[in-house]
Structure formats: C-alpha cells, structure tokens
Amino acid sequence: MWDVAEELKAMLVFAEHRYYGESLPFGDNSFKDSRHLNFLTSEQALADFAELIKHLKRTIPGAENQPVIAIGGSYGGMLAAWFRMKYPHMVVGALAASAPIWQFEDLVPCGVFMKIVTTDFRKSGPHCSESIHRSWDAINRLSNTGSGLQWLTGALHLCSPLTSQDIQHLKDWISETWVNLAMVDYPYASNF
C-alpha cells in the first residue's frame, strides 16, 4: 500500500479503533463500568470510520470527490470487508488480507484455525509440528511433580515459580506464541 499510495498520490489514513490507544469514549472510565463497553463493537467501529471518511472529505481540500478504498489485515481486514458491505456508497473497494470474515462458531468448525497453524509449522521443516505437539505432553508430565514445575520455571526463565494452577495459562501463552509466529510467517521481510 505504501508504494501504490505514493504512485497514485493517495493519502493513507490509519483510523484508531474506539477503546484502543487514545480513543476512549469515556476517558479513564471507559473500562471501569461494563455499561460503557456496550459501545465496543465492530458495528460501532464501522460507524466511526464512516464518520471519519465524511469528515476528511468535508475538511481536506480536493478530497471530496476522491475514491476511498478500505484496507486491513486480520481483524482490520474483517473491518475493511464489512465496511465495504455495510457502506458500499462510501468506498469503491476493500482489500481484506488474512481476514477470517466467516470464522464464526456456526459457520466454521472450531479447530480449523489451529489446523492451519499446524500446517504452517509442518511445512517449515522436518518434524517441526511433531516436536511442538510432543512439547504439550512433556509440559503435562513435568507439571505433575514439584521438581518438574521447578525445572520448567528454570528452563523457561520464568519470573515466578510455576504452580499446577499456572500450567493452563503457561500452555495458552506458549500456544499464542506459536500462533503469532505462524501468522507473521510472510514470504517477505517485515519489521513491525
């Protein structure tokens, strides 16, 4: 998008999703009252983006009749696709990269995403996915004893000693790491 925007003399605008960064509708109280979280929805974010586009077209000289394309990746890609569907009069197109727009419980079986992650590691080298799979059993075995918990704490350089109650959290944290590695396994260099 950087290269194309420069070539087309286009403006790139990154809109901050409400409740993220500095866009807190209720200031410091945004997360203190659950009633305030009623406004943390994708529909509200899309409406915000529509208002932002109207504002930019109204206030930037020469922007009024310029076409707009929504672009995003992952959740941002879902928003781009949904924006095109909900506000087709405001954008001429949308580029939705890695956007799981149909990844909902009643449409796609629950384990599909993790199967894709596993496939990525299977392609990355011989026995890679199998080693990861075996690591879960190793963590389970080690976490059954006090000495095993101590060993895991030391081997993983954890900040505080593991307890048996921490194991699911540890496995979730490690799993999230594998997922993130698979998601940013681009065929080109990246530095974000």
**CA 68 to CA 71: how far, in whole Å?**
10
pLDDT tens per residue across span 62-76:
999 999 999 998 899
**CA 76 to CA 98: how far, in whole Å?**
9
* 37 HSE (CA, 13 A, CB side): 4
pLDDT tens per residue across span 119-159:
999 998 889 999 999 999 999 999 999 999 999 999 999 99
**CA 112 to CA 117: how far, in whole Å?**
9
- What are the structural domains, with CATH classification, of the chain? 1-97 (no CATH), 112-184 (1.20.120.980)
Locate 26 and state its tokens: 């209720």
**CA 87 to CA 76: how far, in whole Å?**
16
Confidence at residue 60, expressed as pLDDT on a 0 to 100 scale? 97
Show the 3-state SS of the chain.
CHHHHHHHCCCCCCCCCCCCCCCCCCHHHCCCCHHHHHHCCHHHHHHHHHHHHHHHHHHCCCCCCCCCEEEEECHHHHHHHHHHHHCCCCCCEEEEECCCCCCCCCCCCCCHHHHHHHHHHHHHCCCHHHHHHHHHHHHHHHCCCHHHHHHHHHHCCCCCCCCHHHHHHHHHHHHHHHHHHHHCCCCCCCCC
pLDDT tens per residue across span 83-126:
999 999 999 999 998 888 877 778 888 888 889 899 999 998 88
pTM here is 0.71
Confidence check: pLDDT of 190 > 80: no
Confidence at residue 128, expressed as pLDDT on a 0 to 100 scale? 92
> pLDDT category, 48, cuts 50, 70, 90?
very high
Give me the amino acid identity at 154.
G
**CA 171 to CA 133: how far, in whole Å?**
12
